[in-house]
Amino acid sequence: MIASLDSRTAPFERLNSRYVRFLDVLRARGFEGEIAPDYANRTVLATDNSIYQRLPQAAVFPKHAEDLERLAKLASELPHRDIVLTPRGGGTGTNGQSLTDGIVVDVSRHMNQIKEIDVEARRVRVQAGVVKDQLNAALKPHGLFFAPELFHL
């Protein structure tokens, strides 16, 4: 049986005009990632690894750090200060932390590069959308892993 979203996430909920304005200006300012106010993307990101559901106004998928700067700068400007931005990685938080009725800033689509592995110092530099399995696959040839490793407990 396919579970359906409950009435809190019904499609008749219209986009808030403040959010529509924010997304229009964001686009005009040169945001290079995708801006997704469509119901399909909103529905996908209305759930995470928790029991909760919350329908966002939109999702955005930043391409790079400059896109994040564009978002933060715009949200700090007076007409947009009540806009809610909620970052999201894998959505694996178990308490609904990545759910929002504002805008989901999903960094997992594009910002998922492993920038540097310093084996000597046992340090890695990654973008915020890297998931642990991906990191551990890259670390394995060096005999390292990022904890916790559930399968070895």
Residues forming the site for ligand FAD (CB under 6 A): 48-49, 86-94, 97-98, 107, 128, 148
Instruction: Give least dist CB 65 to ligand FAD, A.
Output: 11
Q: Find all residues with CB under 8 Å of 54, minimum gap 6, and list them.
A: 8, 9, 46, 96, 99, 100, 101
* Residue (28 or 153) nearer to ligand FAD, CB: 153
Closest to 61 (Cα-Cα) out of 96, 35, 91, 87: 35
Instruction: Give least dist CB 118 to ligand FAD, A.
Output: 21
* Residue (24 or 66) nearer to ligand FAD, CB: 66
Please name the residue that has the structure tokens 């399968």.
151
Residue 134 three-state SS:
helix
Instruction: Give least dist CB 120 to ligand FAD, A.
Output: 26
